[in-house]
Chain A
Amino acid sequence: MSDELVVVRCQLGEREAFAELVTAWHGRVERYVGRMLGRADDDVVQEVWLAVVRGLPRLRQPDRFAPWLFAIARRAVMNRLRDAYAAPEPAAPDDQPDEASAVVDRELIAGALAALPAREREVLLLFHLEDLPLDACAQICAVPVGTVKSRLNRGRRLLREELLRKGYEA
């Protein structure tokens, strides 16, 4: 059954559809929150689901559920990471060739993400671990697609440096 169908059934008010929705997406929400915060946090996960249930009747595009869900999760995480997001973002976009792509691997990312700044960490998580397209990442982070690309580049470079520092070979 498609995600959109489950969301539409929830919007209609079918109680059993909520169980399907939570079962299908809870793991991804928990993983995103855990990796962004560097620890599991049940309160934040619950906060996300409460906001999802309260906001579902107002969701205009059920086919865009994933970006909408992660935008809510991002807001909840941002409330916990306010200090990390308050740090100024490097001004110059990094357009250097992406030599680190070869080392972008799910497990390696998951292990080294904790050391990255919050903005770079979240785009790497959304793009590589959650397999969301660039425009969805941009919608979730409320920034242009170009900014997502530059954060991805910077994030990969920082990740590469972090991995090399930990002894991995590119």
Chain B
Amino acid sequence: MTPEDVLGRLGAPLSLRRRIAYVGVAFLGLVGAALIGVLWATEPGLPARTQVSFAVLVAIGAGWAAFGGWAITRRTPLFARDRVVAGWLGLVAWTVFTVGSMVVAPAVPAWLIVLVALLGATAAANLTHAIRTRAALLRRKSELGG
């Protein structure tokens, strides 16, 4: 087995295209499930059949989001640059979700505001941590003459 053989077999976990696809799947699933969930939670007096339809759609969206999240964290290594990209994607997803929920919901309950604020804080903290980690690695690279 040569180093080239090893690198060939490592192509899948290192593939940029594959991780973008996983992120896309997770992002679409999450946004879809979240927007339908918000609509469901804030729309009073929905008939039972509509509620069942919403539940199925939320489950499908959450399923794709969970699959994408599992694949990107378990099947694919996330390096410093990937984590910064992921952090930005998380913040953008939160912004889309927040704006979407404000547009869709006529009256937003207090618990949802708290939940959205917590999600926003988590997304911001995640991005900050990723940027700091990458900066530390870049500093070390520079110190080592790279």
Binding site for B on A (CB under 8 A): 1-2, 4-5, 8-13, 15, 18-19, 22-23, 26, 30, 40, 42, 45-46, 49-50, 53-57, 62
Q: Is the interface of B mostly helix, strand, loop or mixed?
A: helix
Complex: A40 Cα to B140 Cα, angstroms: 37
Q: How far is the CB of B81 from chain A (nearest CB, A)?
A: 4
Contact A12 B137 (CB under 8 A): yes
Contact B10 A49 (CB under 8 A): yes
Interface core residue of B1, B6, B77 (most chain A CB under 10 Å): B6
Does B144 count as interface, using CB distance less than 8 angstroms?
A: yes
Q: Which residues of B contact A62 (CB under 8 A)?
A: 140
Contact A12 B141 (CB under 8 A): yes
Complex: A33 Cα to B77 Cα, angstroms: 24
Does B39 count as interface, using CB distance less than 8 angstroms?
A: no
Does B45 count as interface, using CB distance less than 8 angstroms?
A: no
Contact B3 A22 (CB under 8 A): yes
Give the A-B pair count, Cβ closer than 8 A: 75
Q: Which residues of B contact A19 (CB under 8 A)?
A: 3, 7
Within 8 A of A (CB), among B3-36: 3, 5-7, 9-10, 13-14
Contact A12 B77 (CB under 8 A): no
Contact A9 B10 (CB under 8 A): no
Known: A18-B7, A50-B10. Contact between A45 and B141, CB under 8 A? no
Does B44 count as interface, using CB distance less than 8 angstroms?
A: no
* Cβ 8 A contact of A46, one of B6, B77, B81, B141: B6
Complex: A57 Cα to B9 Cα, angstroms: 19
* Cβ 8 A contact of B146, one of A5, A22, A30, A42: A5
Complex: A45 Cα to B144 Cα, angstroms: 29
Does B121 count as interface, using CB distance less than 8 angstroms?
A: no
By Cβ-Cβ distance, the 3 closest A-B pairs, closest first, are A13-B79, A13-B81, A5-B144
Contact B79 A57 (CB under 8 A): yes
Contact A18 B14 (CB under 8 A): yes
Contact B3 A56 (CB under 8 A): no
Contact A46 B9 (CB under 8 A): yes
Within 8 A of A (CB), among B112-146: 134, 137-138, 140-141, 144-146
Contact B146 A9 (CB under 8 A): yes
Q: How far is the CB of B116 from chain A (nearest CB, A)?
A: 29
Contact A11 B3 (CB under 8 A): no
Q: Which residues of A contact B144 (CB under 8 A)?
A: 2, 4-5, 8
